[in-house]
Structure 1
Amino acid sequence: MTLLLVDLNGAEQGAIIKHNKEESAPILLFLHGGPGFPAYPLIKANDVRLEDVFTVCYWDQRGTGSSYKAAEGGKLLTLEQLLDDTVEMIAFLRETYGQEKIYVLGHSWGSILGTLAAQKVPEHIHAYIGVGQIGIQFESEKEAYEFLVSEASRRADEKAKRKLARIKFDEEYYLNRAYGAVRFKYARKYDIGFTRDGYSNLRLIREVMGCSEYRWKDKFHVFAGSDLSYQKLAKEISTANLIRTVPELKVPAYFLHGQYDYHTTYQQACNFYTALEAPVKQFHTFAESAHSPFLEEPKKFIKLLKTIREAVES
């Protein structure tokens, strides 16, 4: 498998396609989170075989990894631009594979893009699958902060209590680097991070650098792109309110959420799900997962994708 370079809205962007053995298998577009951090190196390193169900497109969004230069130094890193790119990628996949519709999976930040794309071009989408689904992100972050304070007290973790007491939490938390550092440290310590067992920076670096499908420059651009993307998109994420902006979808919607997710909290995902109008909707809980059930409970995740495909195609 090699890196595919695609022109999307006048910019060269990278994608990796993992083919299902069934030649006519439906296409799944995987919209990674971050923002700016590609999913494929982690999925490959952990041998998560989504291609057992679909032919999967792992697209590096503008400013990410193999698509780093498309950001033009951050000038083109806006929600509007990335949504336009998403719609263009959907069109490319439909045309390339001769399929009227595709499936869209959005993880974390990608769940904003995926939900908005499903709202914008429902005629081109079989179903939307939200993983680590964002609802009202400020409320989600408030829940996470309150959990950390409560857990530090429950554990009598005096150092954590002091650090949490010193930091300010408000609606501009995304600008507060001190808050971000404390939040990251104790979310991982209290098993509510990217995964419940903790996903160290060293592990991330090792898995990205070991991804043979990426060129060397792409590997280094993963980390530069992650920083740049967060700088430019943090406000978009932190002020997102999908309950208000997406009251209805005209495609089946499936939410797959880790019970211990405090990046995009379980409760806020439930709230969005409850408010959402859709022709079919289902919410599936991963009882042993935090933010990344496809890494934490991969067998259950893949089995559920098969069930979703069968339901949509029946």
Structure 2
Amino acid sequence: MTEGYIQVTGGRVFYKKIGDGSGVPLLILHGGPGSTHHTYKPLELLGEERPVIFYDQLGSGGSDRPDDLSLWTLDRFIDELSEIRQALGLEQVHLLGHSWGTMLAASYMLTKPKGVKSVIFSSPCLSALQWAEDQKANLKTLPVETQEVIMRCEKEGTTDSKEYREAVKAFNNQFVCRKEEIPKEWKAPKGAFNPVIYETMWGTSEFNPTGSLKEYDVTPRLSELHLPVLFTCGYYDEATPKTTKGYADLVEEAQFHVFKESAHMPYMEEPEEYRQVIRQFLKSVETDGIR
């Protein structure tokens, strides 16, 4: 394992590289925005075949935390990804983005970077409006009392209240992570998440994007992706199978997989199957040259 820091626009970011296999390196783009690499620990075992690189995006986790709201833009995070590839000499690379990381991956790919062998969109959010609509539909499956608390607190701006947190926890137990017990080493340490980035770019909650990404929609340009692409999601995912399949249908010959026992974090909920699906996809790209 190698750890260190990379200077990017705005500060230093923490990175960790696991494995030294002969396969093309895999770079993980974590969710959020404002989250960290910690919950992706189950993916370290992919390092048996190839280097797997994790990093905390600027402002979160072990990276610097500059107090400058102008840094929290999609374009800067795209530049950060380019700077990381250059610093680590990743002339060839596979990208795996999860949740917000799929927004970053898609937007980065539309800059036409060289050397990207494939992209994996894990539980994708590629249209903010569609995401909000899907969460409204998911919310309607919960008890009426839970729905009413969430809607009332959203309307009144009391999303920092205890009752709101409890209602969101009920939602998360259904659509974010259905695993009752998470190993301690898979959890992000306290304070690793940066709510300022999340609120600046997305908003105060999953249900109502109000930040700079509120009109994000890359779906009209997904057909421009001409490389091997895999879309995955959980059966109970916030990133619903219907929506994720719809994204996959916009990319020529893209592959699509649903993890039947998972919600939004199949890499933690079904880690063995998740690794196997990713492993097989990467191997097929490198050995068979599939699309």
Task: Report the TM-score range of the alignment, normalised by the length of the smaller protein.
Answer: 0.7 to 0.9
Give the superposition deviation at 1:293.
Answer: 1.1
Name the CA distance, whole Å, in 2 between partners of 1:90 and 1:183. Answer: 40
Residue in 2 that maps onto 1:26 = 24
Secondary structure of 2:33 counterpart? coil
Query: Residue 74 of structure 2 is aligned with which of 39, 64, 79?
Result: 79
Query: Residue 59 of structure 1 is aligned with which of 55, 58, 74?
Result: 55
Q: 1:151 to 1:231 in 2, by over 3 A?
A: closer
Name the CA distance, whole Å, in 2 between partners of 1:19 and 1:297. Answer: 22
- Amino acid aligned to 1:160: T
Name the CA distance, whole Å, in 1 between partners of 2:56 and 2:138. Answer: 33
Give the superposition deviation at 1:228.
Answer: 1.6
Secondary structure of 2:27 counterpart? strand
- Amino acid aligned to 2:39: L
Give the superposition deviation at 1:301.
Answer: 1.4
* Cα displacement string for residues 174-204 of structure 1 (whole angstroms, at most 9, x for unaligned residues): x873797476233134x212x112578xx88
Aligned length: 277
Residue in 2 that maps onto 1:160 = 146
Identity among equivalent positions (%) equals 23
Name the CA distance, whole Å, in 2 between partners of 1:167 and 1:257. Answer: 29
Q: 1:177 to 1:245 in 2, by over 3 A?
A: farther
Residue in 2 that maps onto 1:312 = 285
Give the superposition deviation at 1:25.
Answer: 2.7
User: Equivalences for 1:137-176 in 2 at 5 Å?
Assistant: 137-152=128-143, 159-164=145-150, 166=152
* Cα displacement string for residues 194-234 of structure 1 (whole angstroms, at most 9, x for unaligned residues): x112578xx8899334xxxxxxxxx64x13xx212112211
Residue in 1 that maps onto 2:39 = 42
Name the CA distance, whole Å, in 2 between partners of 1:61 and 1:197. Answer: 26
* Cα displacement string for residues 50-82 of structure 1 (whole angstroms, at most 9, x for unaligned residues): 31343111011111122233x443331111101
Query: Residue 253 of structure 1 is aligned with which of 223, 226, 229?
Result: 229
Name the CA distance, whole Å, in 2 between partners of 1:47 and 1:26. Answer: 15
Q: 1:206 to 1:120 in 2, by over 3 A?
A: closer
Residue in 2 that maps onto 1:212 = none
User: Equivalences for 1:84-163 in 2 at 5 Å?
Assistant: 84-93=79-88, 95=89, 100-152=91-143, 159-163=145-149
- Amino acid aligned to 2:196: L
The answer to whether the aligner puts 1:192 opposite 2:175 as a matched pair is: yes
Give the superposition deviation at 1:132.
Answer: 1.0
Residue in 1 that maps onto 2:217 = 241
Name the CA distance, whole Å, in 2 between partners of 1:183 and 1:121. Answer: 42
Secondary structure of 1:128 counterpart? strand
Give the superposition deviation at 1:143.
Answer: 2.1
138-147 or 289-298, larger mean C-alpha shift: 138-147
Give the superposition deviation at 1:140.
Answer: 2.1
Return 5+ residue gaps in structure 1 as ranges.
Answer: 154-158, 210-218
Conserved in 1, the CA contact under 8 Å of 2:39 and 2:186? no
Conserved in 2, the CA contact under 8 Å of 1:122 and 1:250? no
Conserved in 1, the CA contact under 8 Å of 2:43 and 2:275? no
Secondary structure of 2:57 counterpart? coil
Residue in 1 that maps onto 2:266 = 293
Name the CA distance, whole Å, in 2 between partners of 1:76 and 1:197. Answer: 34
Name the CA distance, whole Å, in 1 between partners of 2:77 and 2:178. Answer: 30
Task: Calculate the TM-score normalised by the size of structure 1.
Answer: 0.77
Alpha carbon RMSD of aligned pairs, Å?
2.9
Q: 1:15 to 1:134 in 2, by over 3 A?
A: same
- Amino acid aligned to 1:15: Y
- Amino acid aligned to 2:87: F
Q: 1:204 to 1:150 in 2, by over 3 A?
A: same
Conserved in 2, the CA contact under 8 Å of 1:32 and 1:109? yes
The answer to whether the aligner puts 1:275 opposite 2:250 as a matched pair is: yes
Where in structure 1 do 4 or more consecutive aligned residues deviate above 3 Å?
Answer: 164-169, 178-183, 203-209
Give the superposition deviation at 1:91.
Answer: 2.5
Conserved in 2, the CA contact under 8 Å of 1:17 and 1:56? yes
Return 5+ residue gaps in structure 2 as ranges.
Answer: 203-210
Name the CA distance, whole Å, in 1 between partners of 2:278 and 2:110. Answer: 21
Conserved in 2, the CA contact under 8 Å of 1:15 and 1:60? yes
130-139 or 106-115, larger mean C-alpha shift: 130-139
Secondary structure of 1:303 counterpart? helix
Higher relative contact order (CA 8 A, sep 6+): 1
Secondary structure of 1:4 counterpart? strand
- Amino acid aligned to 2:99: S
